[in-house]
Amino acid sequence: MRFRVAVRVLIAVVSMTTAIASAQTKALTLDQARQFALDRNLSVAQAQNNIESAQAGVLAATGNYLPNLSASGSWNRSQNDRPGTEPFIFNGILIPGSTGRTVNNNFSAGVDLSYTIFNGFAREGNYTSASAAAISSENAAVRTRQSIVYQVEASYLNVLRNEQLVKVTEENLKRDQRQLERITESNRVGALSRADVYRQQSQVASDELSVITAQNNFDKAKADLLALIGLNVNEEYQIADPSITTEIAQSDLEAASVQAQSFSQLAGKAVTTRPDFVSAQEAVRSAEAGITSARAGYFPSVSAFAGYGYSSTQLSKISDNRSMNWGMNIRWTLFDGFGTNYAIQSAQVRQKNAELSLQQTERDINVEVKKALLDLEAARKAYDVSLKGVTSATEDRKIAEERYNLGAGTLLDLLIANAGLVNAQANKVNAVYNYIIAKRNVEFAVGERTY
């Protein structure tokens, strides 16, 4: 009686523990993972900071078209010391002496206004350069978000892949454990030798090790995903998304085969849509504007100014003395020690390097699209082969098990067939997720999706 009560208590405790663990486990879909990454990933935050910095540069470049207004105020005190004089009487009048010290105070305040009328197109060049740099940084941030999302999707799918591999190894372990029970029972009645029991026990132990390894790979893949999207790796999350299916329709495979043959179309599309290519184009435009700014040293600069001020030796009477001034300045540097020439050549080098970077970006895009299509076609073929492999391995193991049970086959034949089935099932799992990742890699290479 006490034993039954203890068993019931143990079952209740286990059920309660399982319920608590399930309540503490948080579900994490692919959309949620993407959003967490965009909100918390450090690379995304840095890209956004670069946008803000570039936009501040545009604002500063715009400010060059506006007048400069400044206000000033000053006070100074001067003191002069010289030999003093003694008092004396003149015509019966006492003339006091002096100490020889003279102290003067001077107060002034004013407002000055200046405006650059022309500065050799440096102002226009700076504005164009800043605007291009801002657009470039915005597109770079878009590509950063695309890259992070693709990494999250690949990492998320890798978690699901490892979870399926855990199930494959667990099912294999259960199957071999049932086989061990049958072999043990057959040995007990003298139908099979003790060697078969030992061999199957060794296989079960190997299966247990495979389960441990697969579970560890699953846990590490989940930790990598949580770290990538900025979540606490110590918290437990259930990685599941009903929108991701492991069954691939034949129509989808046929569409992928057609897509794999459309390199020219996709490469041309990628060049027009990829944010990093647009960013490289804007970098070239910014460098060209830098040449315009550098040439400003060969031109004169023209500015206008105006001022209004007060001054007095007494602060209370400062408004009694007022002054106004206005005019224009023209300044032309006739020789600057080849400084302008150096600035132009440096700007031209930056332009050439920007153009080379643009060409390299286009080459990289073409290579990435080509590789993505090759990976997609290889993943499609691998999936087809994996389906055939599972079907064949399933039948082979079924036949080997029947032959062994009838005494026409050996345990070694059964173990080999079972290993082939496990390998075929694992190949199918890998083929499925490799195909899904390859499809998303094509989308990433083309750069159509924005986040």
Tell how far CA 174 is from the center of its chain.
Answer: 43
What is the Cα–Cα distance from 156 to 225, expressed in whole angstroms? 6
Using alpha carbons, list the distances in angstroms from residue 408 to 337, 413, 418.
99, 10, 17
Task: Check pLDDT > 80 for residue 88.
Answer: no
* Confidence (pLDDT) at 23: 45
Task: Check pLDDT > 90 for residue 295.
Answer: yes
Q: What is the pLDDT of residues 153-197, one digit of tens each?
A: 999 999 999 999 999 999 989 988 988 898 898 888 887 788 888
Task: Check pLDDT > 80 for residue 15.
Answer: no
* Confidence bin at 136 (pLDDT 50/70/90): very high
* Confidence (pLDDT) at 410: 85
Contact 182, 175 (CB under 8 A): no
- Any residues with CB less than 8 A from the CB of 237 and at least 6 apart, and which? 25, 26, 27, 28, 222, 226, 231
CATH architecture for segment(s) 28-67+120-299+338-446: Up-down Bundle (1.20)
What is the Cα–Cα distance from 314 to 390, expressed in whole angstroms? 102
Phi, psi of 308 (to 5 degrees): -140, 130
Q: What is the rounded average pLDDT of the residues 309-324?
A: 87
What is the Cα–Cα distance from 163 to 5, expressed in whole angstroms? 37
* Confidence bin at 12 (pLDDT 50/70/90): very low
What percent of the chain is modeled with pLDDT above 90?
A: 63
Task: Check pLDDT > 60 for residue 4.
Answer: no
What is the Cα–Cα distance from 200 to 207, expressed in whole angstroms? 10
* Confidence (pLDDT) at 100: 62
* Confidence (pLDDT) at 391: 93
Residue ranges of the domains in the chain? 28-67+120-299+338-446
* Confidence (pLDDT) at 186: 84
What percent of the chain is modeled with pLDDT above 70?
A: 91
Task: Check pLDDT > 60 for residue 16.
Answer: no
Contact 371, 384 (CB under 8 A): no
* Confidence (pLDDT) at 22: 44
* Confidence (pLDDT) at 213: 96
Burial class (CB in 10 A: 0-12, 13-18, 19+), 183: buried
Give the count of beta carbons closer than 10 Å to the beta carbon of residue 51: 18
Q: Which helix (H) or strand (E) holds 360?
A: helix 339-406
The tokens describing 58, both together, are 């545009």
What is the Cα–Cα distance from 150 to 152, expressed in whole angstroms? 5
- Note every long-range contact of 204-211, with CB atoms under 8 Å and residues 24 or more positions apart, other chains counting: 204/173, 204/176, 204/177, 204/180, 207/169, 207/172, 207/173, 207/176, 207/177, 208/173, 210/169, 210/172, 210/173, 211/166, 211/169, 211/170, 211/173
Contact 304, 328 (CB under 8 A): yes
Q: What is the rounded average pLDDT of the residues 337-359?
A: 95
Task: Check pLDDT > 70 for residue 7.
Answer: no
- Residue 279's nearest CA partner among 444, 51, 45 is 51
What is the Cα–Cα distance from 345 to 351, expressed in whole angstroms? 10
Task: Check pLDDT > 60 for residue 106.
Answer: yes
* Confidence (pLDDT) at 168: 93
Q: What is the pLDDT of residues 397-426, one digit of tens each?
A: 899 888 888 888 888 888 888 889 999 999
Contact 284, 330 (CB under 8 A): no
Tell how far CA 289 is from the center of its chain.
Answer: 29
Task: Check pLDDT > 70 for residue 6.
Answer: no
What is the Cα–Cα distance from 188 to 416, expressed in whole angstroms? 24
What is the Cα–Cα distance from 161 to 300, expressed in whole angstroms? 68
Q: What is the rounded average pLDDT of the residues 217-246?
A: 90
The pLDDT mean for the chain works out to 88
Q: Which helix (H) or strand (E) holds 75?
A: strand 68-81
Task: Check pLDDT > 70 for residue 97.
Answer: no
Task: Check pLDDT > 70 for residue 285.
Answer: yes
Q: What is the rounded average pLDDT of the residues 362-385?
A: 94
* Confidence bin at 72 (pLDDT 50/70/90): very high
DSSP-based three-state secondary structure for 81: strand
* Confidence (pLDDT) at 258: 86
Task: Check pLDDT > 70 for residue 115.
Answer: yes
Q: What is the rounded average pLDDT of the residues 139-158?
A: 95
